[in-house]
Each structure stands twice: as C-alpha cells, then as structure tokens.
Amino acid sequence: MGAISTHQPQVWNPPTIALRIAIVALTLATAQIHATLGGVMFTLNAIGYATLAAAMVMPGPIGRIRWLTRYALIGFTATTIVGWLAFGARFDLAYIDKAVEVALIGLLLIESWVIDGGPLAVARRARGDVAALLG
C-alpha cells in the first residue's frame, strides 16, 4: 500500500521565503477580519484560516504534504468568496477582505508553480498517489 506523495523540492531563497511570509500574513489578516465580525460562522471561518496558516509553516509530516495544505487553503478561500457573493453583506471591510482573499489565492498559485511545478504537476502526483493507494 502506497503513501501520499511527499514531493517537496527545496527551493528556499529570499523570494520564496518572502512569498511564504506574505501568504501566512494574508491568511492571518483575513482570519483576524473574520474573528472581529462575531457569530459562529465567522468565528469558525477565522479558526479555519488560522489553522491553515499554521499548517503552512509547520515542519514534519504536515510540511511534507504542504502541497495539500496549499490547495486546501485555496479551496477554503474560494469557498469563502463564493459564500460572500451568495449571502454576504456589502460593506467596506467585506470588499477589503475579498481583495485580501483574491491576493491570497494568487500567491498560493504562484507558490504552487515555484515549489511544486504547478497544478498539473500536483494533479499528476495526486493521481499516482490514488493509484498507489488503490493497488
């Protein structure tokens, strides 16, 4: 039985470090914004963002599957944006937060290309992982 791919080439230079710092900063910024809005849904959203921000910098087993964390954060952020488009209130802070979230998705995609070779390379590895798990 195979294991999830832990492909993680080390491309650590000042630009990639700055990129990771920017990703974590934007993730924590949107977590803070959601935390200040009150209510269970916003609080849970803030906890989700804070957890994913922590996962973006954790070493060890989580660090070896950073590609999965990266795409989980993209999906979480995109879902938050779609939820806001469908149900959200339209006020200044909401528009600022959506700009932060769109920038976050952009930076995550850039990091995916730099670190993982892009979404297609990740999809190929994930397909291989699924095939290995299924036998």
Domain annotation covers residue 7: no
How many domains, the chain?
1
Domain annotation covers residue 2: no
Q: What is the pLDDT of residue 72?
A: 97
* Containing structural domain, residue 90: 14-134
Amino acid at 39: G
Instruction: Please list the ranges in the chain whose pLDDT falls under 70.
Output: 1-11
Domain annotation covers residue 3: no
Q: What is the pLDDT of residue 125?
A: 85
For 121, the token pair is 């390379």
Q: What is the pLDDT of residue 4?
A: 55
Domain annotation covers residue 118: yes
